[in-house]
A and B are shown apart, each in its own frame.
Chain A
Amino acid sequence: MIEHVLQTLPQVIIDGLALGAVYAIVALGYTMVYGILELINFAHGEIFMTGAFVGTALLLSFSAFGWLSSMPMLLALLLVLVATSIVTGLLGMGIERIAYRPLRNAPKLITLITAIGISFLLQDFVRFITELKKGNYILTGPSLFTGQVNISASSIWSGFHDASVKSSFFIVLVTAVVMMVTLDFFVNKTKWGMAMRAVAQDRETAALMSVNVNKVIALTFFIGSALGGATGVLFAIQYGTIDPYIGFILGLKAFTAAVLGGIGNIRGAMFGGIVLGLLEMFAAANLPIVSDGILGAEYKDVFAFSILIIVLIFKPEGLFGKVSVEKV
C-alpha cells in the first residue's frame, strides 16, 4: 500500500501544486477583504468565475479574428490577463460601492446575506448571457499550451512513477508566483500597502491619521478582485471548459485555505492555499487505497470541509494568525 502511495507521489505533488496555486490566489482575495472589513466576501468565488468567462470570451474572440495564430501565445495570454484583471477589478469595486458600503455599520448577518445574494445574482447573470450566445452554459475555450512535459521522476528514485505535466501547469505556476510576490511587495513596501495595513488594523485611527479609508477599501477590493479574475483566466486555460457554477465550491475551498493560513494574513493565505491543494489531491488519489475501498475519491470534498471545521474549532486564528481577544 505504501509503495502505491509513493509511486504516484510526484504526479500528486504536481497536480496538487497546480490546484494549490489557484486556491492560494483566490484565498488572497478573501483574506484581504476580511482583514480590512471583517467581512467574508461570498461573492469572491463568482468574481473568479466571471474572470474565467471574460478571459475565455476574449480568447474566443481573438481566435475568431485570427489574431491567436498570428501572435505568440504568451503575448495573447498577457493581454487577456491584463484586460480581465481590469474588468473584474472594476466589478469588485462596483460591488463594494453598491452593496457593502451602505451596510458598513449594519450587523454582520445582513452583510453576509447581501454577499450571498450577489453571489447568486452573478451566477445567474453569467449563465444567461452564456446561454443566450451559445445555447447552453458550458463554455469551452481554445486550447493553449497543450504541450506535454514528461518528468522522469523514476530516475531520482526507483519507487516513483514518472509524472507527466501539461505545459499550462508551468504558466499557471509562474503567473501565480509572480502575482503573489508582487502583492507581497506592494503590501509591505509601498505607501498604499501601508495604508491598507493601517486600515486593517484600526479603521478609525487610520482615518485620524488622514488615510482616505474609502479609497483604501476600494483599492483593496480592486486588487483582490483583479487577482481573482486573473486566476479565473488561468483556471480556464488549465481545464479548458468552464461553467457558471465553478466559483462557488472553489470559493469555499479557497476560504478554507485562507482560514487555514490565518485570516487577514496574506502570506498565510498563500501557504494555506498550497497546503490545501496538496492535501486534496493526496486525498483524491489515495483515499480509496488507504481506506480499502470504503471511502472513494468523491470524499475529497468532505475532506476539505472537515479540515475547515477542525481548524475553525481548534485553532480559529489559523496557522499564522494571532489570537484575537474579544473585548467587552
Chain B
Amino acid sequence: MKKWLNVLEKNKRLQATVIGMYIATTFISLYLAQKSVVAFLLLLSSLLFLYFTSFSNRVKWVIGILVLSVLLPLAASQGEAYQSYMEVATLVGIYIAMALGLNIVVGLAGLLDLGFVAFFAIGAYTYGIFATAQANNFMPFGHYPLSGESFWIFLIIGCIVAAIFGVLLGIPVLRVKGDYLAIVTLGFGEIIRIIFNNLDKPVNITNGAMGLASVQPPKLFGIEFMYPSQFYYVVLVILLLTIFIVRRLEYSKIGRAWKAVRENEIAAQAMGIPLVRTKLMAFAVGASFSGMMGVVFAAKQTFVDPTSFTLLESITILVMVILGGMGSVPGVILGAALVTILNLQVLTELTNWLNQLSLSGVVHIPDALSPAKMQRFIFGLILIVFALYRPQGLLPAKNPRFDEKELKSGVTNVADGKEGAKGVYFNG
C-alpha cells in the first residue's frame, strides 16, 4: 500500500489520470442516472480530491471551474432531478459565501459572532422591500416594485447596507471580550429578528410576520432568472469573486492584523495595530458577504419572512466554520458544503428511505427518531466531537510558507504549500 502511496505522490501524471478517470466516471453516471444523489455528490467531491493533488494552483483552478460551470450542469441536466440538484448547489454556494464571511470574523479575527444571520436578514429585506410593492408604504418617491434589472445594483447596495450595520454592531461590542462577545452578538441577532417581525407599525416597513411575497426575480437583458439552474451561475460567479477577495484579504496587511488580534490583543496593540479599526473592518467585511448573499437568497426564494433568520441559522453557519477549520478558506468551503448537503439532501433522503422501509413493513423506526428531525442532535454532536478531538477542523488553516533564500534577496513570491496566491511583497 505504501508503495502505491509513494508512487502516486511523486507521479503527477498518475494523479492526473486517476482524477481524470474519477471525474469521467462520475460524470457519466450522473449523466445516465435519472435521480442519483450519490453520483451528484461524488462529482462534487472530485473537487475535494483535486485539492489534494499536487498540480500547480492555476491548473487546479481551471479544472475546478471547468467541473463546476460546465460538467456539473451538463451532467445533471439530463435527469429529471436537474432543478433539485441545482437548488442544492445554489444553496451550497450561498452558504459557502456566508461561511467565508463568518470565517473572517471568527476564524481570522477571533471574534465569536453568534448573531451572524442578522446581516443575512438585512440583505434579504433590503432587496425584498424594494422589489415588492412594500416600499410604496413609506418611500415618498419612486415606483415600486423595482424591476428585476435592479437586482445587480442591489447586490452592491445590499453589501454596503450590511457592512454599515456590521460597523454599527461592532462599535458597542468592541469593549467586550471573549465569552461576553458571543452573548452580546447573540442578543443582537435576536433583536434584529424580533424587530423585523414587528416592524409593521407605525410605519409598515417589513410587513411583520406576514413576510414579503412575490419578490421580483433578477432580469438581465430581458431574460428572467426563475429556475435554480440559472441562479446557480449567478451564485457561482459571486462565489468565485468572494473567494478571490477573501484570499487577497487574508494575505494582506489587514489579514495579518486580524490574525495578530486573534492571538493576543494586547500584544497586537503594542505592535501598533489599531484595534478598533481592525475589528470593525472584520465585522464590516464579514457582514457584507452575508448581506450580498441575502439579496441573492431573497431573489431566489421570492419570499422573505423572519422565520428564515433564526438562531439556528447562525449556529449552522458556525458549525460549518468549525467543521471545516477556523481560519482556513478551503476548510470552510468543505465544511459549508458538507453541512448544507447534510441538511438539505442527506437527511431528507435518509428519512424518505426509512419511511419507505417502514411503510413496507421491513423496519420500524419510530417517527420521533426520523433523521430529518434529528438535525440539532447531529449539529450538537459535531460541535462537541470536533471541539474535543479536532479543534483545528477538517482542513486546518495553514500559514503561508516563505522561501528563506528568496526572502533574503528582498523581493519575494509568496508560495505556500498547498494554497498560494501569487503576489509580490517587498520586504525591507
Judge: A and B partners, yes or no.
yes
Which residues of B sit under 8 angstroms from A308, Cβ to Cβ? 183-184, 187
CB-CB nearest in chain A for B263: A107
Q: Which of B137-145, B339-347, B382-390 contacts A (4 or more CB under 8 A)?
A: B382-390
Which residues of B sit under 8 angstroms from A129, Cβ to Cβ? 368
A131 to B377, CA, bound (A): 14
Instruction: Mark contacts of A295-307 with chain B using CB atoms, 8 A cut-off: 1 yes-contact digit, 0 otherwise.
Output: 0101101100110
* B404 at the A interface (CB under 8 A): no
Contact assessment for A293 and B194 in the assembled complex, using a CB-CB cutoff below 8 Å: no
A109 partner, pick from B112, B194, B195, beta carbons under 8 A: B112
B266 partner, pick from A39, A106, A124, A328, beta carbons under 8 A: A328
Residue in A102, A120, A309 with the greatest tally of chain B CB atoms within 10 Å = A120
Which residues of B sit under 8 angstroms from A40, Cβ to Cβ? 179, 182-183
Which residues of B sit under 8 angstroms from A252, Cβ to Cβ? 183, 186-187
Contact assessment for A117 and B266 in the assembled complex, using a CB-CB cutoff below 8 Å: no
A111 to B388, CA, bound (A): 9
A114 partner, pick from B173, B175, B367, B384, beta carbons under 8 A: B384
CB distance from B278 to the nearest CB of A (A): 18
Which residues of B sit under 8 angstroms from A131, Cβ to Cβ? 367-368, 373
List residues of A (223-282) whose CB comes within 8 Å of B's CBs: 248, 252, 255, 259
Contact assessment for B191 and A306 in the assembled complex, using a CB-CB cutoff below 8 Å: yes
CB distance from B220 to the nearest CB of A (A): 40
Contact assessment for B368 and A121 in the assembled complex, using a CB-CB cutoff below 8 Å: no
Instruction: Mark contacts of B356-377 with chain A using CB atoms, 8 A cut-off: 1 yes-contact digit, 0 otherwise.
Output: 0000000000111100011111
Which residues of A sit under 8 angstroms from B266, Cβ to Cβ? 326, 328
* B380 at the A interface (CB under 8 A): yes
List residues of A (292-325) whose CB comes within 8 Å of B's CBs: 293-294, 296, 298-299, 301-302, 305-306, 308-309, 312-313, 316
* A209 at the B interface (CB under 8 A): no
Given A106-B391, A117-B380, A309-B184 in contact, is the A301-B194 Cβ separation under 8 Å? yes
* B210 at the A interface (CB under 8 A): no
Residue in A113, A114, A125, A293 with the greatest tally of chain B CB atoms within 10 Å = A113
List residues of B (369-428) whose CB comes within 8 Å of A's CBs: 369, 373-377, 379-384, 387-388, 391
* B178 at the A interface (CB under 8 A): yes
* B46 at the A interface (CB under 8 A): no
Residue in A39, A259, A302, A308 with the greatest tally of chain B CB atoms within 10 Å = A302
A to B contact number (C-beta, < 8 Å): 128
List residues of A (87-129) whose CB comes within 8 Å of B's CBs: 99, 102-103, 106, 108-114, 116-125, 127-129
Contact assessment for B383 and A305 in the assembled complex, using a CB-CB cutoff below 8 Å: no
Contact assessment for B176 and A119 in the assembled complex, using a CB-CB cutoff below 8 Å: no
Contact assessment for B374 and A255 in the assembled complex, using a CB-CB cutoff below 8 Å: no
Interface size on A, residues (CB 8 A): 49
Contact assessment for B180 and A312 in the assembled complex, using a CB-CB cutoff below 8 Å: yes
Contact assessment for A103 and B376 in the assembled complex, using a CB-CB cutoff below 8 Å: no
A117 partner, pick from B374, B375, B382, beta carbons under 8 A: B382
* B167 at the A interface (CB under 8 A): no
Instruction: Mark contacts of B170-204 with chain A using CB atoms, 8 A cut-off: 1 yes-contact digit, 0 otherwise.
Output: 00110110111011101110110011011001100
Contact assessment for A132 and B184 in the assembled complex, using a CB-CB cutoff below 8 Å: no
Contact assessment for A132 and B377 in the assembled complex, using a CB-CB cutoff below 8 Å: no
Interface residue ranges, B against A (CB under 8 Å): 106, 110, 112, 172-173, 175-176, 178-180, 182-184, 186-188, 190-191, 194-195, 197-198, 201-202, 266, 311, 315, 318, 322, 366-369, 373-377, 379-384, 387-388, 391
Known: A120-B383, A121-B384. 5 other contacts (CB 8 A): A113-B387, A114-B388, A120-B380, A301-B194, A305-B190
| 6 nearest A-B pairs in the assembled complex, by CB-CB distance | A117-B383, A120-B380, A121-B380, A131-B368, A124-B377, A305-B187
| 10 A-B pairs whose Cβ atoms sit less than 8 Å apart in the complex | A99-B384, A103-B387, A106-B391, A116-B315, A116-B380, A124-B376, A128-B368, A128-B374, A132-B368, A312-B176
